[in-house]
Every structure is written in structure tokens, then in C-alpha cells.
Chains A and B, each alone.
Chain A
Amino acid sequence: AQKVTQAQTEISVVEKEDVTLDCVYETRDTTYYLFWYKQPPSGELVFLIRRNSFDEQNEISGRYSWNFQKSTSSFNFTITASQVVDSAVYFCALSEENQGGKLIFGQGTELSVKP
């Protein structure tokens, strides 16, 4: 069965530190998609990235980078030089080819960046 695990419930860092949020997934499909969303205190989910199972190239967007490794079924998210505005709950999610676009979410990691 499909599953997404975010083992880190809470992370606290000081501003300008780098931080990595872990995501491990389980799926039997060969075609699937992985996502990261950010949920700030205001409550909405903000889409950050989507990755398909055939593209293991790492992605960088400003201070954000993502490391996708099929060998370890992981899709980790790194924030470089963290800022207070990065404080939020971050969710990793999985969508499988045959599930009609439905998302399976991890439990979320609450990141607190202190000044």
C-alpha cells in the first residue's frame, strides 16, 4: 500500500542555518509523483514542487533544493540559509498513476526558524 513518512515531527533551527526535511515513501507503482507543500500559520497549503518518478535530477529553486533518490525511496527537502519566514509545517505527498490524482500526505514536519 502507498505511504508517506516524515519522521521528523518538529525541527527548530536558528536563522541562517541549513535544514533538511526528510520524506520516505512507499509505492508499488512504477509511475508516481512526489510533492512538497508548505503550510504557514495562516493555514493554506502552498505548492512548492512536483517530481515524477522518471526524473531523479535534483532541483534547486533559490534557497530551496530537493534530492530525489529512488534507491532509498526518499525525496528530501533542504532549505539553505533559513529565514524566519520559512517557519511553517511542510508536507510531503505522493500521487500514483492509477489513483486518479489523489494525494497521500505525510504527517508533516513543523519547522521553526528562530531569529
Chain B
Amino acid sequence: EADIYQTPRYLVIGTGKKITLECSQTMGHDKMYWYQQDPGMELHLIHYSYGVNSTEKGDLSSESTVSRIRTEHFPLTLESARPSHTSQYLCASSEFKGQGRETQYFGPGTRLLVL
């Protein structure tokens, strides 16, 4: 099981502010993911990374950006927050095993409210 951390857990912020959601994992996992989840709804992949300096957009279009400078760290940034960005953001990581055999382990999530 992975140890994966997200900060902050809750964030209330005004429109137009720049925010960065932090995600760190201590297991040395190669792969990391960001999901967006509206309350009571399914998860949608917005970004993923297969390793350092690798980032890809997910299935759901997002105005956020990500970076992967270190294996353990995968921050997500919104340059200008809007009310439509209000959601829960979940970070996950997995160890590369190929052929889709990886199990993703999730962090506790960040609940973002943009006023």
C-alpha cells in the first residue's frame, strides 16, 4: 500500500487566484495521476505522469497544469481559479508493472471551493 499525501485537504479561495494543490508519495512509484470528482459522481482523469519530466492530459479536459520534476512530487496548478473549478481533486500513484497490471493508490483528496 502506498503512502500518498495531499495538501491542503480543504481550500476556499476567491475567483482569479492562483492555486497549487500538492501531492506527494513516498513509495517511489513511477506513475502518478490526478482525478477530478464532483460530489457523488464518478472520477475523471485530468492528468497523469509516467515518470520525471513526463506529463500527459487525461480524458477530461482541464484548465489546470501539472509538473513532475521529482519522482515523489506531482503538483497541480490552476493559474486563475473560477467557480467552475469547484470540485474534489484526488491524486493517485502506482508502481509500473506493464500491461495494465498496476494498482492505483489514492491520497485523501483536496476539496476546493472557489467563490
Closest to A99 in B: B100
Q: Give chain B's interface secondary structure class.
A: loop
Q: Do the beta carbons of B42 and A31 come within 8 Å of each other?
A: no
Closest to B96 in A: A101
Cα distance A28–B99 when bound, in Å?
Answer: 15
Cα distance A44–B94 when bound, in Å?
Answer: 16
Count of chain A residues near B, Cβ 8 A: 29
Q: Do the beta carbons of A101 and B111 come within 8 Å of each other?
A: no
Q: Do the beta carbons of A103 and B101 come within 8 Å of each other?
A: no
Known: A33-B100, A44-B107, A101-B31. A107 touches B90 (CB 8 A): no
Considering only residues 43-84 of chain A, those with a C-beta below 8 Å from chain B are 43-47, 50, 52
Chain A hits for B101, CB < 8 A = 33, 52, 95, 101
Contact of A91 among B43, B100, B107 (CB under 8 A): B43
Chain B hits for A100, CB < 8 A = 48, 50, 100
Q: Do the beta carbons of B99 and A50 come within 8 Å of each other?
A: no
Interface string of B56-91 (1 = CB under 8 A from A): 001100000000000000000000000000001010
Chain A hits for B50, CB < 8 A = 100
Q: Do the beta carbons of A106 and B99 come within 8 Å of each other?
A: no
Q: Do the beta carbons of A106 and B40 come within 8 Å of each other?
A: no
Contact of A44 among B40, B103, B109 (CB under 8 A): B109
Chain A hits for B88, CB < 8 A = 43
Q: Do the beta carbons of A101 and B42 come within 8 Å of each other?
A: no
Q: Do the beta carbons of A47 and B40 come within 8 Å of each other?
A: no
Pairs A–B under 8 Å by Cβ, sample size 23: A35-B103, A43-B88, A43-B90, A43-B111, A44-B90, A44-B107, A44-B109, A45-B43, A47-B104, A50-B103, A91-B43, A95-B102, A96-B100, A99-B100, A100-B100, A101-B97, A101-B104, A102-B45, A103-B45, A103-B104, A105-B42, A107-B42, A110-B40
